[in-house]
Amino acid sequence: MGPVEYFTCGRCGGTANVLLRHRSDFDFQQRLTGALRFPLTGPGLQTLLAVSLMLAVLRSLGGGIRLIQVLPLTLALGIFWATFFALVKGAARGNPDPEAPVFTDVIRDNLIPGLRGLIVTVGVFLPAFARAVSLAPSPREHLLNLLLGAPLEAVMPPDALADPLTWGLVLLGFLWLPWAWLVAAMGQSMVGALHPLRALACIRALGRDALKVMGVFALLAVAHAGMHWQADQVLAFHIFFLSRWIAEALTLLVPFAAANVLGLVLYVYGDALGYLPASDFLEPVLGTTAPERVPLPLRGAAPEVPEPEAPSSPEEVASQVAAFTQAVETRDVARALGLYAALRVLPRLKLSPTHHLFVGQAAAVERDFPLSVAALEAAADAAPEEPTAPRALVLLARVQGEKMGNTVRAEEIYRYILHRYPDTDAARFAQGRVTSAA
């Protein structure tokens, strides 16, 4: 009805609340299958080709001189991790189109995401690395060689390769890694992302689904190793830039799928992880199912009463406004509501805000919620600077949320009150409702 949306029962015609349930009540495994297909969808392929092209260009710069390669490789690292975190946040909103990273500031949009991703990824394996270095005959020499760019397998002590504790710490790092990435994508500090208790809190929040996530990441790790092997085979063709571009695209397939899986975790369990309020994670039980038939009016069972015709002349307008004013003053609710139905087609300034407010309250008591919403909106719009405006908005939010079940619209109104009318009784009331909803 106009800008107002309300729900009714198809049998009795009475108002009804939409049945909601938490996203975690739906089949997580089915959602997980869809998330893994993201790199092969239209938006996923577009992002994959664009990012792999940028990375191929940057990695091709500098030739074999390490010093010249520092800047393009740093930029490539930032582009990769900025895209990774953007994909996580886009999937967390349930958006089928990925959020493109913004590169307006080199430090904020490139270097910081790159450092965050690199430090978190390396940090989860630091215990295993420290254990391996401690088994070397000369730990300082091994550490220095690694920092100077020597391959990891060349400086790994032989004793570490046969040490069960080292391999146990490596396995622990792999299990820890997805949760560290998840916390980092939520905007937590790098210290918080590397805190073991944060990973345990994530696992506890997901319950059994945490095992599914870790199992998927184990399979993705194997697939990523296979993609790197395929990328090396492609590079062996030496088709200058095309080989590099294809190789970069192959190595991005698994990270993009992993980012979408982490975004799915936030989409389903973000409230338990402290990412968004719990009210954002409720979905209709029937999903997008359309009604089988058009619902009856709110009072379809009652005999139809013809509404008063709108006044057509200034004299009629003045007469009906006077009659409406008298009905309000004498608290004749039935007559006031009947006259208001005809007079509300006039400009809202023709009636005083208190009259709109009276009708809004009376219509809510009579359970004529659409009329109540229209009158309360008029009361707030007719004189936004008057004390009646915040009061009307509070009543409007209560009708929307408590009577019509439109909690999302109610919270929007409460937040508008906090923004438009701070330091008022209405704002204090709204603050309590918003806090309790969050």
426 — pLDDT class (breaks 50, 70, 90): confident
Cβ contacts of 307-315, under 8 Å, gap ≥ 24: 307/338, 307/341, 307/342, 308/338, 308/339, 308/341, 308/342, 309/342, 310/342, 310/343, 310/345, 310/346, 311/342, 311/343, 311/346
Per-residue pLDDT averaged across 257-275, rounded? Answer: 92
| Beta bridge mates, 15 | 8
Percentage of the chain lying above the pLDDT 90 cut: 26
Per-residue pLDDT averaged across 180-197, rounded? Answer: 90
In the prediction, which pLDDT does 66 show? 56
Per-residue pLDDT averaged across 167-183, rounded? Answer: 92
Residue 384 pLDDT > 60: yes
Contact 396, 377 (CB under 8 A): yes
Per-residue pLDDT averaged across 278-298, rounded? Answer: 70
Considering only residues 149 and 351, tell me which one the structure prediction assigns the higher pLDDT.
351
Per-residue pLDDT averaged across 166-192, rounded? Answer: 91
Q: Which residues are CB-neighbours of 236 under 8 A, at least 6 positions away?
A: none
Contact 113, 83 (CB under 8 A): no
Of 58-62, 78-82, 230-234, the one with minimum mean pLDDT is 58-62
In the prediction, which pLDDT does 283 show? 83
Q: Which of 133-142, 164-173, 335-344, 412-421 has the highest mean pLDDT?
A: 164-173
In the prediction, which pLDDT does 150 show? 47
Rounded-to-integer distance, Cα 88 and Cα 11, Å = 43
Take residue 393 and report the two structure tokens written for it.
């908005």
Per-residue pLDDT averaged across 142-160, rounded? Answer: 56
Question: Can you give the pTM of this predicted structure?
Answer: 0.63
Q: Per-domain residue ranges for the chain?
A: 22-283, 314-437
13 — pLDDT class (breaks 50, 70, 90): low
In the prediction, which pLDDT does 385 show? 82
| Per-residue pLDDT tens over the stretch 61-106 | 755 555 566 788 888 899 999 999 999 988 998 877 766 677 778 8
Residue 296 pLDDT > 70: no
Tracing tokens 């990412």 back to the chain, one arrives at 275
Take residue 372 and report the two structure tokens written for it.
């109540």
| Per-residue pLDDT tens over the stretch 38-48 | 888 888 899 99
Distances in Å between the Cα of 399 and the Cα atoms of 341, 376, 378, 421 are 19, 10, 15, 19
| Per-residue pLDDT tens over the stretch 237-253 | 888 788 989 999 999 99
Distances in Å between the Cα of 198 and the Cα atoms of 84, 179, 186, 203 are 20, 8, 12, 9
161 — pLDDT class (breaks 50, 70, 90): confident
Residue 123 pLDDT > 70: yes
| CATH ID of 314-437, from 3.40.50.720, 3.90.420.10, 1.25.40.10, 1.10.490.10 | 1.25.40.10
Distances in Å between the Cα of 187 and the Cα atoms of 179, 196, 214, 282 are 13, 17, 21, 23
Residue 141 pLDDT > 80: no
In the prediction, which pLDDT does 333 show? 77
Of 181-190, 204-213, 306-315, 380-389, the one with minimum mean pLDDT is 306-315
Q: Three-state SS string across 233-274, please?
A: HHHCCCCHHHHHHHHHHHHHHHHHHHHHHHHHHHHHHCCCCC
